Amino acid sequence: MSDKQVFRNFVNGEHTDAADGRTLDIVNPATGEVYATSPLSGQSDVDAAFAAAGSAFETWRDTTPAERQLALLRIADALESRAEQFVEREGENTGKPLAVTRVEELPVAVDQIRFFAGAARVLEGKSAGEYLSGFTSYVRREPVGVCAQVTPWNYPLMMAIWKIAPAIAAGNTLVLKPSDTTPATTAMLAELAAEFLPPGVLNVVCGDRDTGRALVTHPTPQMVSITGSERAGIEVAGAAAADVKRVHLELGGKAPVVVFADADIAAAAKAIAAAGYFNGGQDCTAATRVIAAAEVHDDFVAALAEEARQTTTGRPDEDVYYGALNNSGQLARVSGFIDRLPDTATIHNGGSRVGERGYFYAPTVVSGLAQGDEIVTDEIFGPVITVQRFAGEADAVRLANSVRYGLASSVWTRDHATAMRTSRRLDFGCVWINTHIPMVAEMPHGGFKHSGYGKDLSMYGLEDYTRIKHVMSALD
């Protein structure tokens, strides 16, 4: 055990272990081997974290937007200056390619912190006015209070920032639990942020599902925010309802990718493969459910299969497009979808594990599927792209919307009117046109239906961490 890394909780500005000494093994997905431990926190650890957050809120809530902005800007600068340390730790903990993380994740994460630093200065309510004779009314926008937050394993650092930055910008304090498999960079970020935040503003408690339940059901937080699975979101919403907590949910997705006959098939296949296999398809917005016009279906499948054959997976230090799946359970889940394919299905590339060491899975293309097949309706969260065919615009929209998720989607066509009609009718929180997966801090991210509610990023994301108070004063 002495040669293994040890990750710790960060509570009230200090590193702590679980009170009862329990730990979790942390596995490197690229090797399948245990390389670290983290605390398996219990109720007393959660109590201590919320006590720290509650105490810190009494003063943090009174800081000015300028003070909160400055703290966030300093955190962003420090993260940028130590980017390589975070890249290496993220690669070890997640199996992500270092080169991809270095270019696609760290700069974006820094930018998102800076966005919320600026956004802290422009939160406002409606202007004061006399809406009743003899009385002046105005609106105060205030922090919600202490927040409980739970992040997933697919983008550990970035998802932590999506929650931490707006919550702090709005004047809240928080207790955050990272995924049990990926605590590394979240613990590291908390330590960095403590250089610029008062003790107790940001607390990180590591653990398993039971730890998460203790956070959600704790009486202190006024808001619970989770990015995770549909199952976890339903459980959180139910638990929070018992205490009338505000809930912010970013859950699963099953993004339809509607390819019309007039689309540039070669360009679409290339871009869709990139958006479907990025991060090994472990992305709620991944372009993994293609619905192609019948007249171009076969040509598109052939072009996509060729793109898949050119897509590489491997270790973090290799020049590859994506790395390992996060854990053995996820590898088994992805493999299970392929093992249970209906007889009508055809695998055009991949469909198998890569190597015997680590949790690697080949880029896969599957066609010959019906709308009711589980691989079409359920989130795979792996490097598997399915392709169906549609007959006419109405059929395309019907197939696209006939899932319980509503997070993201895309439309591929050269015709402006077709793009506008289809984007209006797609029941998803984001519709990309002739692209898929780009995000910017200024625009909201969040879904409908079983993909949850509430927005990340943008001013909408910041407003979700505030509450509205009406103040009325008599003039006489």
CB 196 within 8 A of CB 169: no
Q: How far apart are CA 215 and CA 441, in angstroms?
A: 28
Catalytic residue among 90, 92, 230, 250: 250
| 3-class DSSP string for 20-53 | CCCEEEEEECCCCEEEEEEECCCHHHHHHHHHHH
Rounded Cα distance between 34 and 392, Å, is 51
- β-pair type (23-28, 353-354): unpaired
From the centroid of its chain, how far is CA 446? 10
Rounded CA-CA distance 42/443 in Å is 37
Q: What's at 311, amino acid-wise?
A: T
Q: How far apart are CA 41 and CA 194, in angstroms?
A: 21
How far apart (Å, rounded) are the C-alpha atoms in residues 242 and 239? 6
Neighbours of 394 (CB within 10 A): 10
CA-based R_g, the chain, Å: 23
Residue 142 catalytic? no
As a whole number of angstroms, the distance between CA 396 and CA 259 comes to: 9
Residue 314, SS3 per DSSP: coil
Q: Residue 452's beta-bridge partner residues?
A: 250
At 20, list the tokens.
């009862």
Tokens of residue 317, six digits: 């230090």
Amino acid (1-letter code) at residue 133:
S
Helices (H), 278-319: 297-309
Q: Catalytic residues, which ones?
A: 250
